Amino acid sequence: MTTRTTPGQRFRDAVASEHPLQVVGTINANHALLAQRAGFKAIYLSGGGVAAGSLGVPDLGITGLDDVLTDVRRITDVCDLPLLVDVDTGFGASAFNVARTVKSMIKFGAAAMHIEDQVGAKRCGHRPGKEIVSQQEMVDRIKAAVDARTDDSFVIMARTDALAVEGLESALDRAAACIEAGADMVFPEAITELEMYKLFASRVKAPILANITEFGSTPLFTTDELKSAEVALVLYPLSAFRAMNKAAENVYTAIRRDGTQKNVIDTMQTRMELYERIDYHAFEQKLDALFAQKKS
């Protein structure tokens, strides 16, 4: 009898096997399957993606735990790739809220989560005007998360937004303090220079994630460049989401303008491509078999 590894262990194994591990954002279950088909070993659910994609609101702390869990469950129901989830500041002001978030993430099949040191009224990490809590409050968030784990393999990643607010030394101190408090990995947000990642890796002695998001503060470093800076994970949180939105806008504009979709049909996934990606025919064959049994 074979034993199935936990999502958390699969995430840790992926980090150990690919250097650096590419973690791509999947805005929904369909995209999770596409990412799996493309060969990725881990996927990501962005808090900003949930806000904009599922709710149509800005990434300003408006979403709640249940909003994120809905998308987590939909993804983990159909895709076995380990899923890293953005839980913002923990979805509440107390250690009890952080604990509930951790337990819920594990129960819904997530492999890992990152929690940040912004205040509750948070902003996108690449926007101005961010405010952060004290280092002690962030350490308390990490301790609450670690204590709440019902699965020791579940990965708790500490994100710090301190670089843009208090400077590099503060960000390094916070990252080290979070690892000392029990965090497994570190996510320094809005990094502006490649060498900074080396400093984090040297200071914290834990896997470092680089957030290579488009149109932000961080240059679009390549995997080779990031590997040279001792980065362990490379995150592309909303790349496919941005492309999907642009494509949808172009299609809507064309249909409204031209009175037909003929001019944009070549930009679309075909019906057969969709069926193949979601394994449609396997489901249909089972349905056919059930109908045949009833008839006989």
Rounded-to-5 percentages of helix, strand, coil across the chain: 50, 15, 35
Chain-centre distance of CA 79, in angstroms?
14
213 is in an annotated binding site: yes
189 is in an annotated binding site: yes
Question: How far lies 89's CA from each of 11, 113, 114, 273, in Å?
Answer: 22, 11, 9, 39
Please give the order of strands across the beta sheet that includes 21-25: 185-188, 155-160, 112-116, 83-86, 42-45, 21-25, 233-236, 209-211
Q: What secondary structure does DSSP assign to 170-189, as a single string? A: HHHHHHHHHHHTT-SEEEE-
212 is in an annotated binding site: yes
202 is in an annotated binding site: no
The Cα–Cα gap between 180 and 28 comes to 34
Catalytic amino acids?
A: 44, 59, 86, 88, 114, 116, 124, 159, 189, 211
37 is in an annotated binding site: no
46 is in an annotated binding site: yes
211 is in an annotated binding site: yes
263 is in an annotated binding site: no
> Which string of b and e fits 246-280 if b means at least 16 CB within 10 Å?
eeeeebeebeeeeeeeeebeeeeeeeeeeeeeeee
100 is in an annotated binding site: no
2 is in an annotated binding site: no
Q: For the chain, what is the radius of gyration of the CA atoms?
A: 21
The Cα–Cα gap between 205 and 73 comes to 32
The Cα–Cα gap between 164 and 56 comes to 27
48 is in an annotated binding site: yes
88 is in an annotated binding site: yes
Indicate the annotated binding residues: 46-48, 86, 88, 124-125, 159, 189, 211-213, 242, 271
- Binding-site annotation: residue ranges for Mg(2+): 86, 88
Binding-site members for substrate are 46-48, 124-125, 159, 189, 211-213, 242, 271
